[in-house]
Amino acid sequence: MAVKLRLMRMGKKKQPTYRVVAADSRSPRNGRFIEIIGTYEPRQDPSVIKIDNERAVHWLANGAQPTDRVEKLLKISGAWTEHTSEAFDATVPERAARKSKKQLEKEAEAAEAAASEAEDAADAEGDDDAEAADDTADAEGGDE
């Protein structure tokens, strides 16, 4: 029997919580499972991850294959490190603040304005340099 460590969806509509379970790979997502290893609550800020590392390492040692998401959760909880002896940075990155289209447009306009001001300033400096070069040529007796 091929065993997978995967997520089993629980909770109300639009409010998911997940169980991390060891299950036969042929059973459906929310179907039969062998053992509950932990829970994952993604809607909390920060996400809540509770995994029994001892049982997770046991299943990994016996050949259970984790899904991609469960593998990330195991790395965060430390069970993956115990199993493979790989170092992993367990800090969870902060979520980027969501911005509305108006805010994004305002930021783009501000960036364009700053870029055009920088170009204008560079052009003004270039004009001053050209005038200074003409003045030095005249001072040296550049009458021809």
One domain for residues 75 and 113? no
pLDDT at residue 1, as a whole number: 73
Six-digit token string for 9: 């969806």
pLDDT at residue 80, as a whole number: 87
One domain for residues 72 and 52? yes
Q: Is 90 a member of any domain?
A: no
What percent of the chain clears pLDDT 90, i.e. is strictly above it? 24
pTM over 0.85: no
Q: How confident is the model at residue 17 (pLDDT cuts 50, 70, 90)?
A: very high
One domain for residues 53 and 109? no
- Give the length of the chain: 144
pLDDT score of 56 more than 80: yes
Q: What is the mean pLDDT of residues 44-70?
A: 90
Counting Cα atoms < 13 Å in the Cβ hemisphere of 5 gives: 29
Domain of residue 107: give its range.
96-144
What is the gyration radius of the CA atoms in the chain, in angstroms?
30
- What CA–CA distance (Å, rounded) separates 15 from 63? 32
- Give the chain's domain count: 2
Q: Is 29 a member of any domain?
A: yes
Q: What is the mean pLDDT of residues 80-96?
A: 66
One domain for residues 55 and 117? no
Q: How confident is the model at residue 138 (pLDDT cuts 50, 70, 90)?
A: low
One domain for residues 11 and 64? yes
Q: How confident is the model at residue 20 (pLDDT cuts 50, 70, 90)?
A: very high
pLDDT score of 30 more than 60: yes
